[in-house]
A and B are shown apart, each in its own frame.
Chain A
Amino acid sequence: MAGKDRKQAPVIPSVNGSENAVAPEVAVAFLKSTMPFKELDDQALRDLALHCKIDFFPKGTRLLTYNESDITHLYLIQRGGVRAFITDDDGDIVLKDYRGVGSNIGALGIIRGTKANLNIETVEDTFCYLIPRDIFKELVRSVSAISHYYLKNFSDNVVATAYTELRKNKLTRRPTEELLLFNTKAGELSKPLFSVSATTSIQESGMIMARQGIGSLLVYVDEDPGSMIGIITDTDFRSKVIAEGRDIRGPVSSIMSSPLKTVPADMLCFDVLLKMMTTSIHHLGVEQSGRVTGVITSHDIMVQQGNSPYYLFKEISAQSEFEGLYLLSKKISGLVRNILKEGAKAGDISRMITLINERILARILVLLHDQLGPAPVRYSWLMFGSEGRNEQTFKTDQDNGIIYRDPEPRQQKEVENYFRMFGEQATYHLLKCGYPSCKDNVMASNPLWCRSMSSWKEQFSHWIGEAGRHDQLGASIFFDFRHAYGTEQLAVDLRDHIITCCRQKNTIIENLGRNFLSLRAPLSFFQQFVVEQNGDHKDWLDIKMRGLAPFVDFARILSLKYGIRQTNTLIRLKRLSARMKLDKSFYLEMVDAYELQLQLRVIHQLSQIEQGKEPDDFIYPEELSDLEKRMLKDGFSVIGRMQNLMAKEIAEA
């Protein structure tokens, strides 16, 4: 951002006929306390305050409706809170998030000029400052600190959609360079030009794009290959050709976007992105001395930006030394902070961290195979516990193991030796990458958890048969195993074995279920929460054990009963809801309560990391806003209903 701040004073026009109007100091102070308006100088804040209106929305007021409401102003919450939700294809309400004091609503819609992209409803009596749309747009356009704030929002969305592409796309090696938005020009990032004449058929254009591996193609007038009149992108094929059932022999000009929007080659990437943000056009031509010489996309820019997940992901894949991986893994928490700051959900973060962790693991194992030679038999690297459920937030202890295919008897020793060495070295490198050793030594380096297929099956048969007699909780993390690297079929076979065993011996459901029933629901008594009564964490709420664990246990136990293979708690709940025909609102209450807690935990841990502390799960109730407390309390009340349901399930079993 350095050097790009413009003068703020003339940004906001004066209000007509209000020469004498003075904004109350408290209004200025309020604006100054919110992001991103705190970036404005005092005069600009005063001017802005004069344009604000204050409105009151009683609890339950619908502020915006998805795809219907025009957003006429930005809402800035001064008191109260709202929930943002969408309705999915089945008509179910999917909660996206809650926003409280100091948050704003409608920014992205205004910037992109679209209708509301979420439904917004007040969950308590709410007062909002209203900033008129045009004033807000002007601020975004002319104050770089503000545009930057929303730009990050925007770029995270781009990055989120990029995830799905991550695994499919081959990742090519590129020189490591940190490109910053403010010192890179459009011309430096633009891709070479591919173009066709306007009369080329749609099919032929598609073939060219496929052959060249490109996502867009420029279109020129027949007689003049130098003058571009439009562009087609992958999206055009989807929305105009397939969706509309067009004839692919027709001319490409019939599906192109025209005219082609361009930027000069010497425009800063920052301004290019800004243009993309405000126009919602993600493919722009790059123009040099009057000629279009290339194409630039928002994706190209984000990929190059130093702190994007994509960038880190690529770098990990490109590492050929363990030491390089150690260094890269240090970047994860900074990255999480960046995307969380802009409102990423706990779910997004888990997904991202999972991908990055898997990538680091895969890289370590590949490098190890280079050193130790290929594995003598096929194997699957397993993750247990929260990693097995895809639910880790920040780096958690290693919980891992290996299944390998039963070796021939004569091979036995050699195979055992190979995997022992392999497991020891892999866990060592993981440790150096910042994944601490498991306190209970559930790691691939421990021969107990690095075993052949038949040995694993025996182990699970034993747990399922013995469960309830001793230590069933110690074993429960193993039931949440997930394949992370190697041959997935081995993990699938093991899961089949467990499902069969549970069907035959359902005492495990009964025993685990009874244990679940004995949990204390974390409601009331002390400051509305059950908090820890003893030890170092007296008066704190252990959000993992008291809050999240009941949901995880509930989902695991019933998944065992109903033969559900998934390990992720939210997915398990979804499957269970369908299988058991659960009441929709009950299901959604569970999901909301669980997601809210995940979110609170991420925020709590992040603030600890920022303060240089080790992240933990102990939340002091005072850290929470009133709204959060109440939502949390509401969320806990669903645990009682889960216990009732479990009691019924046990009785049936």
Chain B
Amino acid sequence: MGILNTISRLRGRDRLIVSNNRSFARFDYRKQLTDYTYVVFDTELTGLNRKKDEIIAIGAVRIRDLQIDLGETFHYYVKPQNRDHTRATLIHRITPQQLEEAPPLETVLPLFLKFIEEDLLVGHYVPIDTGFLDRATRKLYNGTIANPSLDTMRMAQIYKRMVLGDYHGSQQVADGRYNLQRLSTELNLPYFEAHDALEDALQTAYLFIFLVKKLHSVGIRTIRELFAAGKELAHTARTPDGV
């Protein structure tokens, strides 16, 4: 098994990645936001260092027709490679025991890739999650998936700017005013104490459908329009690019 895997990795990118990338080669950015299917996800990490830290849980829920589908959820704990991480995880609402019993990333990652298929990815401050995801697929499959991702934090900034007329978005990110809990409370979304990555994903999903429908009223109706609004925001507020 190990040898076969190594060979296929040496030969190039995994077929999973190839077919994924192929299907996004001609991605249509002009469709209505309502017409896409999304996977809202959240990862739990041992820390934010991309070199050392690892994914220890993935939670996700699908959104179809802009409705959160509770029948299509994904939730796995992941056993970290570095055993020290197992011991240091209490802060992550996960017990060391749960991690010991969890499958390794090699098992969970293909399940997750199968789950997300060709859906768009959504996350709150999604660059962190996609960063770790890319690192994992690079390592296991020698490539990265091409699913476009949307960041609800950036969308919230756009919303506040365009709908509420609030121009202090970028400063407030640093204050933690865009953290998921505070946004949910501020926007009067259903709010709960999230217990795991799945519930964080669910909380993000609430925020996402709220924002898409609200942004619709100010003329942001396609992915392209959303990205354009994000760029404009990045330009005027000098924050990193990419919605």
Contact = CB atoms under 8 A, between A and B. Distances in A.
A22 B210 contact: no
B68 interface: yes
Given A26-B192, A54-B68, A20 B74 contact: yes
B209 A55 contact: yes
Contacts of B68: 53-55
A101 to B, nearest CB: 9
Interface in A4-43: 15, 18, 20-27, 29-30
A21 B73 CA distance: 5
Interface in A315-341: none
B66 A127 contact: no
Interface in B8-62: 61
B202 A55 contact: no
B70 A78 contact: no
A362 interface: no
If over half of A's interface residues share one DSSP class (helix, strand or loop), that class is named, otherwise mixed; here it is mixed
Contact of B67 (A15, A18, A53): A53
B198 interface: yes
A198 interface: no
Contacts of B74: 20-21
A56 B75 contact: no
A52 interface: yes
Nearest to B208: A56
Contacts of A22: 73, 75, 198
A24 B62 CA distance: 13
Given A26-B199, A127-B206, A78 B190 contact: yes
B189 to A, nearest CB: 7
A615 B199 CA distance: 43
A13 to B, nearest CB: 11
Contacts, number: 71
Contact of A125 (B69, B111, B188, B198): B188
B70 A24 contact: yes
Nearest to A58: B213
A52 to B, nearest CB: 5
A130 interface: yes
A79 interface: yes
Contacts of A30: 190
Nearest to A29: B192
A22 B209 CA distance: 21
A79 B189 CA distance: 7
- Which one of B66, B73, B188, B217 has the greatest number of beta carbons of chain A within 10 Å? B73
B188 A18 contact: no
Given A58-B214, A78-B190, A127-B190, A51 B209 contact: no
B101 to A, nearest CB: 16
A29 B190 CA distance: 13
A79 to B, nearest CB: 5
Residue from B189, B190, B192 with most neighbouring chain A CB atoms (10 Å): B190
Contacts of B61: 24
A369 B155 CA distance: 78
B70 A56 contact: no
Contacts of B217: 58
A24 B199 contact: yes
B70 A53 contact: yes
A56 B66 CA distance: 8
A50 interface: yes
Interface in B197-216: 198-199, 202, 205-206, 209-210, 213-214
Interface in B65-97: 66-75
A49 interface: yes
Majority SS of interface residues in chain B? mixed
A54 B70 contact: yes
B73 A56 contact: no
Contact of B190 (A52, A53, A79): A79
Interface residues of A, number: 26
B202 A24 contact: yes
A127 B189 contact: yes
Contacts of A27: 70, 202
A58 B6 CA distance: 52
B238 interface: no
B199 A25 contact: yes
Contacts of A58: 213-214, 217
Nearest to B207: A56
Given A26-B199, A58-B217, A51 B71 contact: yes
Contacts of A26: 192, 194-195, 199, 202
A54 B206 contact: yes
B67 A24 contact: no
Given A18-B71, A23-B73, A56 B198 contact: no
Nearest to B69: A53
Contacts of B188: 79, 125
B209 A49 contact: no
B71 A56 contact: no
Contacts of A56: 66, 206, 209-210, 213
Contacts of A24: 61, 70, 73, 198-199, 202
A52 B205 CA distance: 14
Nearest to A61: B213
A21 B72 contact: yes
Nearest to B64: A53
B59 to A, nearest CB: 8
A29 B191 CA distance: 13
Contacts of A52: 70-71
A49 B217 CA distance: 31
Given A26-B202, A79-B188, A125-B188, A55 B73 contact: no
Contacts of B199: 24-26
A21 B189 contact: no
B152 to A, nearest CB: 13
Nearest to B68: A54
A15 to B, nearest CB: 4
Given A25-B199, A27-B202, A56-B206, A50 B189 contact: no
A22 B74 CA distance: 7
B67 A55 contact: yes
A25 B70 CA distance: 11
A509 B217 CA distance: 51
A25 B195 contact: yes
B115 to A, nearest CB: 9
Interface string B201-243: 0100110011001100100000000000000000000000000
Nearest to B187: A125
A58 B217 CA distance: 10
A130 B188 CA distance: 20
Contacts of B198: 22, 24
Contacts of B71: 15, 18, 21, 50-52
14 contacts: A18-B72, A21-B72, A21-B74, A22-B73, A22-B75, A26-B192, A26-B194, A50-B71, A51-B70, A52-B70, A54-B70, A55-B68, A56-B213, A127-B189
Given A21-B73, A54-B205, A127-B206, 15 more contacts: A20-B74, A21-B71, A23-B70, A23-B73, A24-B61, A24-B70, A25-B199, A26-B192, A26-B199, A26-B202, A50-B70, A50-B71, A51-B70, A52-B71, A55-B209
Interface of B: 61, 66-75, 111, 188-190, 192, 194-195, 198-199, 202, 205-206, 209-210, 213-214, 217
Interface of A: 15, 18, 20-27, 29-30, 49-56, 58, 78-79, 125, 127, 130
Leading 10 A-B pairs by shortest Cβ distance:
A54-B68, A15-B71, A53-B67, A50-B71, A26-B192, A56-B209, A79-B190, A52-B70, A55-B67, A21-B73
